[in-house]
């Protein structure tokens, strides 16, 4: 309280962090708005009726229908680049050499036959001709050669030379020449290796007659033998390059498929009519609207970014001024600002996704942000934020006033509906309120715009669904925000108010007096907070847990002792007794951490005695050591003093309830005097210096405490005993 009376203006030490948060938020909002702007996506849909005229703001080109003629020509050109594919079969060369070796071997065997006559030799030679599909004259010429081994070697070398170059059929070679194909792709059948060959390096069987003879001149000197080698090689050579038509056609198909579509180009000139009011929107209109967005000049894009930056910066400035002058407590920290920024950015991202998707813009869940800010921070800031968010949503939706208006109405109704929400079921009710508000607004807008009945009903339905979706989202994400930012809401507090909590059950068994004391303190603190406009639920729940540290040594606390004569402190020194009494605060905080109680509850547990004096044991210490000086600090709680109104109400309620038990004759006037005395002592002792209670607040708290305690200690009429029946 003295802090409030002697308050000096101090500079905000978090100004740098506030500037960083504001700057990052501003840049994020501008980025979201400018990303895939799609200003026409939300306003115009194929099949709808246009509500305004649209003209081309500049010259641009758009893609028309597919140009089938150009596509056919492009595919044909692509197919012409495909080289004919031939398979090189190594086995054919091996089979030809094997045949040459077999012919030579058979003739050599005949020639080496002992005592064979010339006539028999020629006769046997003629019999071999049909077996090898060779002429009798050729075999007769071969067998007359002097050295058949040398003949075979010459033949083998010639065969290998030409077949390694590749022998192609005359038909395919002519086709290559007719098409002007200078190269072909050759794939080896065995290894799969591929190489490109010039068609002029290939041979046909007809070409080989002269080429084999020419090659033989350099190898075989004898003219007769050279002629035999030439005739023999020409007779057994075979085609070993085989055209793979299937592979070639497949390659052509792939090339044709790789050709990119070619479209006709439609030129649109500046000021040309794109869409007229009352006209049904078709596919061509949609393409032109897309063309306006995609062809926007860089200068206009930069100007648009700058314009959005100015508007968003202005909104940020207004929000900062509001916080500075009307919510200084929020401006003192960073947590609330981060929550506000985070929620705003998430809502704008959701809006952008919905706008650029096929979903109707009526589903943009602005009410989610409004309801979350209302319950996590406060309602006033939620209303201010809703106003700014609605304008930004209208910009994202294509500068649509109807969407901005619906967002404003639904968001503010959501803020009002969240007031006093303590149960998650009430969030659904708030969502229904938002849905009905959206629906009513859209019905009114439908009448103004003279929409047909079906369109108006459809838009209103989506507005109602928006409210339900908002409630579901808030219900789902609220626990995430509570845990992420360590925020206490009435919903989470109400869950803790359940007296079936494990630590409260343990207290009922081990410290029943403390349990009853906590319940009474809870009622007193809750009523006090209601009187001074603080959080009554936080005070009540914190009161239930404020003395959990007494469970460990319950018998050392008077409310758990059967009679004053059984006090466990009789055998202890005053200093030790004081240490045990004050340690229940530290033990309570440790238990709260163990059971993962809310941070605000832990703070109240830690502050509910402030730095108060354990007067009883301090007095006993003074009586025992009269000649020595007793340090008062050893008999005080470690603190800190209450930092909030709720913590102060719990401290006062705890002290008043404990003191009221000492009254012998608790009349109304005595109770009133006791309450005022206790509150005045706490004030004089400085225990209320660090909270924001005013003298008027203390007066109201005193009245509430007196009223409740008078009701608790009221006297009953003494009823006469009934006569005993005989």
- The domains located in the chain, with CATH, are 2-34+297-487 (1.10.1760.20), 80-253 (no CATH), 498-712 (1.10.3210)
Is 187 in a helix, a strand, or coil?
Answer: strand
Q: What is the pLDDT of residue 151?
A: 77
Give the model's pLDDT for residue 346: 94
335/324 Cα distance (integer angstroms): 16
Considering all CA atoms of the chain, what is the largest pairwise distance in Å, rounded to the nearest integer?
166
In the 8-state DSSP scheme, what is residue 719?
Answer: P
Q: What is the 3-state secondary structure (H, E, C) of 6-31?
A: CCCCCCCCCHHHHHHHHHHHHHHHHH
What's residue 8's pLDDT? Answer: 43
What 3-state DSSP class applies to 168? Answer: strand
| Cα-only R_g, the chain | 50
How many whole angstroms separate alpha carbon 562 and alpha carbon 43? 77
Closest CA to 646 of 689, 601, 682, 686: 601
- What is residue 715's predicted lDDT score, i.e. its pLDDT? 55
Position of tokens 């003209």? 55
Report the b/e string of 354-379 with b at 16+ CB within 10 A: bbeeeebbbbbbbbbbbbbbbbbbeb
Could you say which residues of the chain have pLDDT below 70?
A: 1-14, 36-46, 48-49, 51-52, 115, 180-181, 207-223, 293-301, 303, 332, 562-567, 570, 625-630, 714-726
Q: Which residues pair with 268 in a beta bridge?
A: 60
Q: What is the DSSP letter of 570?
A: G
And the tokens for 524? 């007193």
Gap between the Cα atoms of 24 and 2, Å rounded: 38
d(CA 207, CA 214) in angstroms, rounded, equals 11
In the chain, DSSP finds a helix count (H) and a strand count (E) of 30, 8
Q: Nearest CA to 638 among 568, 588, 691?
A: 588
pLDDT for 515 equals: 93
Tell how far CA 163 is from the center of its chain. Answer: 66
Residues contacting residue 94 through CB under 8 Å, at least 6 positions apart: none
The answer to whether residues 154 and 219 touch, using CB atoms and an 8 Å cutoff, is: yes
Strand partners, 294: none
| Cα-based angle 675, 681, 683 (whole degrees, multiple of 5) | 105
User: How far apart are alpha carbons 531 and 687 in whole angstroms?
Assistant: 20
Alpha carbons 107 and 122: distance in angstroms, whole number: 10
- Return the pLDDT at 726: 43
Which contiguous run of DSSP H or E holds residue 198? strand 194-198
With tokens 């950015």, the residue in question is 345
Question: Is residue 683 within 8 Å of residue 698, measured between CB atoms?
Answer: yes
List the beta bridge partners of residue 61: 267
According to DSSP, residue 68 is labeled: H
Q: What gap in Å lies between CA 11 and CA 85, rounded to an integer?
A: 83
Burial group, residue 382, by CB count within 10 angstroms (0-12, 13-18, 19+): buried
Question: How many angstroms separate the CA atoms of 171 and 70, rounded?
Answer: 33
**Distance set, CA 172 to CA 200, 217, 244 (Å):** 13, 30, 11
Contact 352, 69 (CB under 8 A): no
Measured in degrees and rounded to the nearest 5, phi and psi for residue 85 equal -105, 125
User: CA–CA separation, 415 vs 386, rounded Å?
Assistant: 9
How far apart are alpha carbons 181 and 84 in whole angstroms? Answer: 8
Confidence at residue 424, expressed as pLDDT on a 0 to 100 scale: 80
Q: What is the pLDDT of residues 359-385, one digit of tens each?
A: 888 889 999 999 999 999 889 999 999
Contact yes or no for 613/636 (Cβ under 8 A): yes
What is the CB neighbour count within 10 angstroms for residue 294?
9
C-alpha pair distances (Å), 56 with each of 41, 62, 279:
16, 12, 16
- The reported pLDDT for the residue numbered 296 is 64
Give the separation between CA 249 and CA 622, rounded to whole angstroms: 111
Provide the sign of the torsion angle of the four alpha carbons 631, 635, 639, 643, taken in this order. Answer: negative
| CB hemisphere CA count around 331 (13 angstroms) | 15
Q: What is the DSSP string of 409-477?
A: HHHHHHHHHTTT--SHHHHHHHHHHHHHHHHHHHHHHHHHTT--HHHHHHHHHHHHHHHHHHHHHHHHH
Q: Omega of the bond prior to 86 within 30 degrees of 0, cis?
A: no
Can you tell me the distance from the alpha carbon of 335 to that of 619, in angstroms, rounded to the nearest whole number? 45
Whole-number pLDDT of residue 565: 56
pLDDT 10s digits, 248-258: 888 888 888 88
Quote the tokens at residue 152.
């075979």
Tokens matching residue 127: 């019999």
CB 159 within 8 A of CB 101: no
Q: Is the CB of residue 135 less than 8 Å from the CB of residue 235?
A: yes
Residues 6+ apart with CB under 8 A from 21: 334, 337, 338, 341
């Amino acid at each position: 309280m003295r802090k409030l009376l002697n308050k000096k203006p101090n500079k905000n030490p978090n100004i740098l962090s506030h500037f960083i948060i504001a700057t990052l938020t501003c840049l994020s909002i501008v980025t979201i708005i400018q990303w895939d702007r799609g200003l026409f996506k939300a306003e115009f849909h194929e099949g709808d009726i246009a509500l305004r005229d649209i003209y081309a703001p500049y010259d641009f080109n758009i893609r028309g229908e597919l140009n089938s003629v150009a596509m056919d020509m492009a595919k044909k050109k692509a197919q012409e680049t495909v080289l004919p594919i031939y398979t090189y079969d190594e086995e054919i060369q091996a089979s030809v050499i094997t045949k040459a070796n077999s012919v030579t071997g058979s003739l050599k065997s005949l020639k080496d036959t002992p005592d064979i006559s010339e006539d028999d030799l020629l006769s046997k030679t003629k019999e071999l001709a049909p077996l090898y599909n060779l002429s009798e004259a050729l075999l007769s010429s071969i067998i007359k050669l002097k050295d058949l081994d040398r003949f075979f070697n010459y033949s083998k070398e010639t065969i290998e030379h030409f077949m390694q170059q590749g022998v192609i059929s005359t038909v395919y070679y002519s086709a290559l020449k007719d098409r002007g194909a200078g190269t072909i792709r050759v794939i080896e059948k065995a290894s799969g290796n591929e190489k490109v060959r010039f068609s002029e390096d290939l041979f046909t069987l007809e070409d080989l007659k002269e080429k084999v003879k020419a090659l033989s001149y350099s190898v075989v000197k004898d003219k007769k033998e050279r002629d035999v080698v030439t005739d023999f090689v020409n007779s057994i050579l075979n085609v070993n390059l085989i055209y793979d038509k299937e592979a070639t056609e497949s390659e052509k198909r792939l090339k044709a498929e790789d050709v990119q579509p070619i479209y006709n180009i439609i030129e649109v000139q500046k000021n040309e009519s794109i869409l007229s009011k009352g006209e049904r929107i078709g596919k061509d209109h949609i393409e032109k609207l897309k063309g306006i967005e995609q062809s926007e000049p860089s200068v206009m894009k930069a100007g648009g970014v700058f314009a959005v930056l100015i508007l968003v910066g202005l909104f940020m400035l207004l929000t900062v001024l509001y916080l500075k002058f009307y919510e200084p407590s929020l401006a003192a920290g960073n947590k609330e600002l981060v929550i506000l920024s985070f929620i705003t950015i998430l809502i704008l991202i959701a809006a952008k996704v919905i706008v650029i998707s096929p979903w109707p813009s009526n589903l943009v869940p602005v009410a989610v942000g409004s309801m979350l800010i209302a319950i996590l921070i406060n309602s006033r800031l939620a209303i201010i934020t809703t106003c700014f968010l609605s304008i930004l949503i209208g910009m994202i939706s294509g500068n649509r006033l109807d969407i901005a208006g619906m967002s404003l109405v639904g968001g503010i109704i959501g803020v009002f509906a969240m007031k006093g929400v303590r149960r998650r079921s009430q969030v659904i009710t708030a969502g229904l309120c938002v849905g009905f508000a959206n629906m009513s607004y859209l019905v009114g807008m439908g009448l103004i715009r003279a929409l047909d009945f079906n369109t108006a009903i459809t838009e209103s339905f989506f507005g109602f669904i928006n409210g339900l979706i908002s409630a579901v989202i808030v219900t789902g994400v609220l626990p995430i925000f509570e845990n992420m930012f360590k925020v206490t809401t009435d919903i989470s507090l109400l869950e803790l108010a359940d007296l079936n909590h494990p630590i409260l059950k343990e207290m009922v068994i081990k410290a029943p007096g403390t349990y009853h004391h906590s319940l009474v303190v809870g009622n007193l603190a809750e009523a006090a907070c209601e009187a001074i406009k603080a959080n009554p639920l936080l005070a009540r729940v914190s009161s239930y847990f404020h003395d959990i540290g007494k469970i460990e040594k319950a018998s050392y606390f008077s409310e758990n002792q059967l009679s004053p004569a059984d006090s466990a402190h009789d055998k202890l020194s005053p200093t030790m007794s004081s240490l045990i009494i004050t340690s229940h605060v530290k033990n309570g905080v440790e238990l709260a951490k163990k059971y993962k109680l809310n941070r605000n509850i832990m703070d109240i547990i830690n502050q509910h005695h402030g730095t108060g004096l354990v007067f009883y044991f301090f007095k006993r210490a003074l009586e025992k050591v009269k000649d020595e000086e007793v340090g008062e600090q050893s008999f005080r709680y470690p603190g800190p003093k209450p930092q909030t109104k709720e913590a102060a109400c719990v401290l006062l309620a705890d002290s008043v309830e404990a003191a009221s038990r000492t009254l012998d004759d608790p009349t109304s006037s005595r109770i009133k005097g006791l309450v005022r005395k206790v509150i005045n002592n706490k004030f004089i002792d400085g225990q209320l210096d660090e909270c924001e209670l005013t003298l008027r607040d203390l007066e109201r708290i005193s009245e509430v405490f007196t009223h409740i305690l008078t009701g608790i200690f009221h006297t009953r009429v003494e009823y006469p005993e009934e006569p005993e029946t005989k």
